[in-house]
Structure 1
Amino acid sequence: MKSRQQICVLPGDGVGIEVTEAVLPIFEALRLPIDLKFGQIGWDCWRKYGDPVPAQTWEIISSCDATLLGAVTSKPLREAEEELRFSLRGSRLSYVSPVIQLRQKLELFANVRPITDILGDKRYQFTVIRENTEGLYAGLDFDSIPAEFEPVLARHEQNGAVWKRQGSKDATMSVRLQTRDGLIRLFRFAFDYAQRQGFKRVTLADKPNVLRHSGAFARDILETVAADYPDISAQIENVDAVALWMVRRPERFGVIVAENMFGDILSDLGAGVMGGLGLAPSANIGLKGAYFEPVHGSAPKYTGQDRVNPCAMFLTVALLLEHLGHHSSADAIRCAVTHVARSECRTSDLDGTASTSEMASAIVRQTVAQAEHLL
């Protein structure tokens, strides 16, 4: 471990900025050998420069050990074009979400979403690991049928397909792409994570009874990888059944692994099981680095009101610190968040009256107390 580590901090947009500022005192309070380097990202960068991730930000990211990202704003194509500064409009700039840019450029293939019993209603602890770069979000989304796909569709139509269309412009399509290498690295990551965290079960959430060929492809690879982890059981379950049991019996899961879209849905459902997006952290880990972000949005309507729950960002910092090797500090933050979230110092989403800054200050104080206790 280097004498001092570098963290790139990108506060983001809207309440992302407020929550980040409220949580950053935790680094000084824990007296960690960490330096913070700040960069720009998000909607203001898009409006000014035509890119939500400027070149200077990439330089800062590449110079740091990990990145802490606040919530960012994304809007549809038309709105994105309308909000560019006048001199950039009509220049054929294409808005690409900064989150997608980070995941693709840094090859951050694994999105890690721990689901824990923060509020104490039930006893459960499991993690959803979502594939970040392939699946239905691989970018193969078309506003009409590409010519290359016409022969494939024509064969299905000749064989009695139920869909009706008048030509290539009368339909759209998205392709679910899963590669062997992509699935191998995802499944190995899931089993390695389960091994480190003490989970005894890995569940692939898919839809093999409908997506028969791609489902069978994933199943064969899962079984091959699972053979290297004899102490961890591996199952394949339909994604809709997984969603049901996440709500009814979350304690039955260890690691749930899924392709991009299924994982996207299940991980947000997991946040609902926990008590809301204000409690949900995430890590994005890959071959060339890692970034960490709370999964709540930038919530423009709440900007400046000092009312957004900071717990997700604190738990995100805990994931970051754990990734960098500061395990006791990460544990102290998690204990503090649980303690404060069950106290009277709670934000409105947890049926309390505390402000963002009040709850954040309480968590910082409790973290310091927990850290001293763990020494």
Structure 2
Amino acid sequence: MKRKNICVLPGDGVGIEVTEAVVPLFEALELPVTLNFGQIGWECWRAEGNTVPQATWRLIQESDATLLGAITSKPQREAQAELPNHLRHSEVPYVSPVIQLRQRLSLYANVRPVTDVIGDERFRFTVIRENTEGLYAGLDYASVPLEIEPLLLAKERQGASWQRIDRHDAAVSLRLQTRLGVTRLLRFACDHARAQGFDKVTLADKPNVLRNSSAFVRDILEEVAADYPDLQLNIENVDAVALWMVQRPERFGVIVAENMFGDILSDLGAGVMGGLGLAPSANIGEHGAYFEPVHGSAPAHAGLNKANPSAMFLSVALLLEYLDFTEAASRVRSAVRQVAQSDVRTYDLGGSHSTTEVAQRIIDTCLTLNQRGTVRPSQLTIPEYN
């Protein structure tokens, strides 16, 4: 197999720690990959007012996939306050590096597997969230735009409760969904269902309230369904989906949703699994893919060597699968499951072991599954990020 280039971006906080813990896995499994390290996140912002340096963009473009540890994001006011003095009054806008990656690379599908890691495999499903449109499309206004004011006046004439408001005394966010965006997402969800052996795809929306926009999406769903006769496609209210995810998660195969609904459901899925420390993610699109655990940078835990590395290992498994290292990906998942069900656990799962201890046990277990023994892999050197 041709050697693959992986861009590794440790990021901030515990992202650096879980990245350092997982990197030896690549050497241990003797995979034909080259790891190229770059910088991203809060410290880049504090140094130069740019969360994704140009050198990092070049590195991403030269790589087959990107592994991201975690990044810290703060509101605009706090972000401006931490800029270097010479940039503090330059009105440099803070844009989350995650949003930049998704939009610039057109990574429209956020993939969040939800598996029973710590139980007896009672459930296995995937939440797929649209990444570029929906309520997070950027059409968010602190006052009502003049172009929208006639729509409010029309509703006022129909007896709406916000009669005679001043446009500066209201805020508006618009949910944008395009035929292209919805169609490619639904097709991605169906292809994922087939690849993972699922027979059901559930679109989570709110058709009983958002009647027109949901009807638009439902029509596209029915068009796509015609090309997937082997799958059962249906639309359900997002609140009902949330309830059944908790009470009967085994009823789902693939759950697909627009950006905000998918954001909420995917974190609920992490809770169903047992916590963010177990939840991996993939962001896949037209111009590449990146993979990251969803627990964030957790600044309060940074430097304590206590973060659960399992989500990072499971994210690596998604990355390996994306690069066609399917056998290695399967072994990583099995190793994470075995260790999560052992007495070697981090604090979030009721244990007292460190990040590095749990990571080493997962790597050793991978080697055992590979019938290579349990010899500890040599440690790779990771550059420091100041």
TM-score class normalised by the smaller sequence: over 0.9
CA deviation digits over 1:326-348, x for unaligned, max 9?
Answer: 00000000000000000010000
Q: How does 1:48-127 map to 2 (within 5 A)?
A: 48-120=47-119, 123-127=122-126
Question: How do residues 138-149 of structure 1 correspond to structure 2 at under 5 angstroms?
Answer: 138-149=137-148
Determine the structure 1 residue equivalent to 2:376: none
Partner AA of 2:306 in structure 1 = R
Asked if 1:257 corresponds to 2:274, the answer is: no
Distance 2:124 2:207 in 1: 26
Distance 1:210 1:371 in 2: 52
CA distance in 2, matches of 1:163, 1:42: 41
RMSD: 0.9
Distance 1:372 1:284 in 2: 32
Look up the SS of the partner of 1:339 in the other structure: helix
Q: 3-state DSSP class of the match of 2:370? A: helix
Specify the alignment match of 2:383 in structure 1: none
Asked if residue 273 in structure 1 is aligned to residue 272 in structure 2, the reply is yes
Equivalence for 2:379: none
- Equivalent pair of 1:165/1:171 in contact (CA under 8 Å): no
Please name the residue that 2:381 is paired with: none
For residue 148 of structure 1, report the CA deviation from its aligned partner. 0.8
**In the alignment, which residue of structure 2 is the partner of 1:186?**
185
Structure 2 residue aligned with 1:323: 322
Q: TM-score, normalised by structure 1?
A: 0.98
Equivalent positions of 1:189-228 (< 5 A) are 189-228=188-227
Aligned counterparts of 2:217 and 2:92: Cα–Cα separation in 1: 36
CA contact (8 A) 1:16 1:71 kept: yes
CA distance, structure 2, for counterparts of residue 259 and residue 124 of structure 1: 23
SS at match of 2:268: helix
Partner SS state of residue 306, structure 1: coil
Structure 1 stretches of 4+ moved >4 Å: none
CA deviation string 1:157-198 (max 9, x = no partner)? 121111255311100000000000000000000000001111
C-alpha deviation, 1:221, in angstroms: 0.1
1:351 aligns with 2:323: no
Partner of 1:332: 331
Match of 2:158 in 1: 159
Q: CA deviation at 1:368?
A: 1.2
State the partner residue of 1:245: 244
CA distance in structure 2 between the partners assigned to 1:233 and 1:193 by the alignment: 13
Q: CA deviation at 1:370?
A: 1.2
Q: 2:115 touches 2:121 (CA, 8 Å); kept in 1?
A: no
Q: Is 1:362 the equivalent of 2:367?
A: no
Equivalent residues, number: 372
Corresponding residue for residue 371 of structure 2: 372
Once residues 166 and 220 of structure 1 are traced to their aligned partners in structure 2, the CA distance between those partners, rounded to angstroms, is 35
1:137 paired residue number: 136
Distance in 1 (alpha carbons) for counterparts of 2:15 and 2:291: 13
Comparing 149-158 and 8-17, the one that deviates more: 149-158
Secondary structure of the residue aligned to 1:320 is: helix
Work out whether residues 202 and 236 of structure 2, in 8 Å CA contact, stay in contact via their aligned partners in 1: yes
